[in-house]
Structure formats: C-alpha cells, structure tokens
Chain A
Amino acid sequence: MTTPITSSTAATPRAPSNTSSNAARNAAAAPVPVRASARLLAALIAGALFGFGLSLSTMIRPSIVLGFLRFQDMGLMLVLGGAVVVTFIGYRFSPKLLTRPLFGGSFGQHESILDRATIIGAAIFGIGWGITGVCPGPAIAGLGAGSYELLYAVAGIALGALTQGLTARRS
C-alpha cells in the first residue's frame, strides 16, 4: 500500500523497537546479509564451545569456584591458564595466517584502558565474585545445565550493569 520510495535520502529516525517494518529491515541490513548471519552462527558455535568448557571444568558450580577462592582447590588456575594459552595462540596467529577473519570484518583488539575505574571496578567485581562464586559467563552457562537458581545472579549482574551505565559520567 505505502510506497517506501522517497526523494529525500535523509535517514529515517530510529524507529521504536518492535516495528519490524521493511524500512527498518532495509536500514538495518548490512551490505552482505549472508555474511552477517554467518558471523552470528560463528558467535553461537564459539559460545557453545565456551559454555561446554565452563561446564566440563565445573566452573558453572559456584561451590567449586568458592573452593578455589578459599585455597581448597587450585583447579581454576588450570582452567584460566589453559584458556589463556589457547586464546593467546589464536590471537597471535590468526592475523598472520589470515588476511582477514574467515567470515569477514577485521581483526579487533582487546579494549585496553588503565584508569581508576579499571581498578576500582575490578575490586568491586572481586567482592561480588567472592560473595557468590559466580561471574558473568558461568551465570549464563549454568542455566543450560539446569541451574535455574543462577537466574538470581543473572538478574543481579544485569541490574548492576544497568546501574553502572545509568551512573556513568561520560559514555
């Protein structure tokens, strides 16, 4: 019925959510939509490996993490060490072996800023981690193994992140 063609090329203002009109779809579509979905599939598979690893290493069990923090079991060091070594190899050699990521885009860098917020935030995070034995990844992964209690942690983390954003002085 309506004709979406307009003579003006001005960008339409961001529509409120839940209006999945054609115009909104076209505006949001990446130049190569197939590649965008391939990238999402990559994120899903990579996340699944991550979640499988968190479960296999029992990091989705807060009691195991608290056991590490209370010096009863050093397992978390092996988990972190193993993950860092493999990630280091991936980060170091992917840009050397590939001109660009296999599904497009470019090789990013870990955002790295050192200021008071980095350290104060880490300290607050540490206190919370010490109280619960739950950190952001395992809180989500554990849901897949039926630990619905972790929804309380997920809700807390989400509200904490919201509070941080609402009180941030600058974006």
Chain B
Amino acid sequence: MLPFPFGWPHYLLGGLCIGAGVALLYALTGLVGGMSSVYSSTWSFVVTRPFFQQTKLVDSRSWRLTYAAGLIVGAAAWWMLFGHGARVTVAIPTWQLFVGGLLVGYGARLSRGCTSGHGICGLASLRLPSLLAVVTFMAMAMLTANVTARLGWG
C-alpha cells in the first residue's frame, strides 16, 4: 500500500476541487487554465519588449491575473472555514524559497507549463509533450529533494 501518514480523503477531495475549477473555467469560457503563464503575462503591463507584448500574453493578462486572484480568495475561504484561526506558516528558509522560485519561474516558462499547465491541463488533454514534461520535472524534483534532504535543508 502507498503510505498516507496524514490520511488520504483530503488529498482526493482537494484534487477534485482543483479539477472542478479548471473544468468550470473551460465550460464557461473555453480557456485552458494553467498557472505559470500569469507570471509572464503580468509583466506585459510594464515591460515593452516584444516578447512580453505578444498577443498571447497581452490578451490573456486580465483573466490570468483574475484567475490568480481567485486562488487567493479560495485559499482565504478555506482558511476561514477550516483554518482554526492560525495562519499557515512556511518553515522553508527564505533564500531557498527565492532561489528555488527563480528556477521554477524560468523553467516553467521555458517549458510552457508547470504542475498545473502540463500536469493537469496537458495530461487531461492527453498531450505527449506534457506527459514527457511531467515525467521530467517529477524525476528532477525527486532527485533534488532527496539530495537536499541529505544536505539537511528544509
């Protein structure tokens, strides 16, 4: 059996909610809702370089930013309902969050997708490139996380 030291129903229910959000976005608007693109499209408000003025980014920046705001609203709703008053703290060191974030942002945009873009939208669309991307980033993340565990990182 696979180990679930914290139980499993909340994982499945949470996953179904995430899928419901992505599916609802599609049924209502026809939009494919990965999350990493917002980190590029939002730059189009201020960066005039041609890359950031692509139609693809400019035309999607409003809904992507709204979609991202929705993430915060949804998490805040969960917090109010089930948070028991205490905020969720993150114990990972600051530099680790920032440096890891740089790689996450650069890599996800180079790959044109992240855990949601390739992992959810791409796999649900039965796309081979997304499957290969998911296998690649899962393998690299597992390798990295196990190395950092040996090094005693958070």
Contacts and interface: CB of A to CB of B under 8 A. Distances in A.
Interface of A: 17, 39-40, 42-64, 66, 69-91, 94, 98, 100-114, 117-137, 139-147, 149-150, 152-166, 168, 171
A64 B7 CA distance: 12
Interface of A is mostly: helix
A131 B148 contact: yes
Contacts of B83: 145-146
B14 to A, nearest CB: 2
Query: What interface size band does chain B fall in?
Result: 35 or more
Contact of A112 (B92, B127, B144): B127
What 4 pairs across the A-B complex have the smallest Cβ distances? A47-B70, A156-B101, A57-B14, A90-B23
Contacts of A90: 19, 22-24, 26-27, 124
A103 B26 CA distance: 10
Given A134-B101, A136-B105, A168-B51, 11 more contacts: A43-B29, A47-B70, A49-B74, A90-B26, A91-B121, A91-B125, A106-B30, A122-B132, A131-B148, A144-B72, A166-B51
Nearest to A162: B43
B90 A137 contact: no
Interface in B77-111: 77-79, 82-83, 87-92, 94, 96-111
Contact of A160 (B67, B106, B118): B106
A149 B89 contact: yes
Contacts of A120: 107, 110-111
Interface string B104-134: 1111111110111111111111111110111
